[in-house]
Structures are given as structure tokens and as C-alpha cells.
Amino acid sequence: GQQLNQSPQSMFIQEGEDVSMNCTSSSIFNTWLWYKQDPGEGPVLLIALYKAGELTSNGRLTAQFGITRKDSFLNISASIPSDVGIYFCAGRAGDGTYKYIFGTGTRLKVLA
């Protein structure tokens, strides 16, 4: 099935470090969403982006809608152990298809 390219696939970081991940698409999107998923649970929405160049924060999380509309970025500042999980991006084109395409996920592990 169709998926967005998300990188890195996984990362181990020390508590307190900043984290960056990104998502790229071959298609233009009108909406980007970022989610966090804990094991055995559904994804939880972190940030939603609707305009090219938009920069939105949610606590220590900041996400940006790329100006080409084909990519998006998520940054986590001063990571803490509870940031552990899988982060997914999701994009949707404005072509009336009503479906989101999800990234392959970034697995984050924080070392205390």
C-alpha cells in the first residue's frame, strides 16, 4: 500500500536531547498530521498543519508544513523518558479522496 517516507526509522537518544524527524511525499498535500503511538494503543494526535510554511507548537513539540507541500518536520525539544513511542506523520491531498496516507513511523527510544 501507499506510504510516506519517514526518517529516521528509529533513534536512540539521551534524555534532554532534541529530536528531529521528517516525512516526505511525492505528492502535494493540503494537510499534515503528526501522531504518537504507544504499544497496543491507537495513535494520538499531536499536531495538525494546514498551510505551507506553517509552524505549530504543542508544548515541547514543534512541527512545520514544508513550503513545497511535499514534506513536514517534527521536532521534540529536551526529550524525556515518556517521549518513547512511535511517531507517525499523515498527509492528505486536497483532491477529494478523503483519505490520509501514513508514514512508515519513527521509533524513538530515550535513554535516561
Q: Which residues bind another protein (CB under 8 A)?
A: 1, 3, 30-31, 33, 35, 40-45, 48, 50, 88, 90, 92, 97-105
Of 37 and 62, which CB lies nearer to another protein in the complex structure? 37
Coil vs helix vs strand at 82: helix
Of 35 and 73, which CB lies nearer to another protein in the complex structure? 35
Cβ 16 to another protein shortest distance, Å: 30
Of 30 and 62, which CB lies nearer to another protein in the complex structure? 30
Cβ 36 to another protein shortest distance, Å: 11
Q: Work out whether the CA dihedral 53, 54, 55, 58 comes out positive or negative.
A: negative
Note if the bond before 81 is cis, omega within 30 degrees. Answer: no
Strand 55-58 versus strand 19-24 pairing type? unpaired
Coil vs helix vs strand at 81: helix
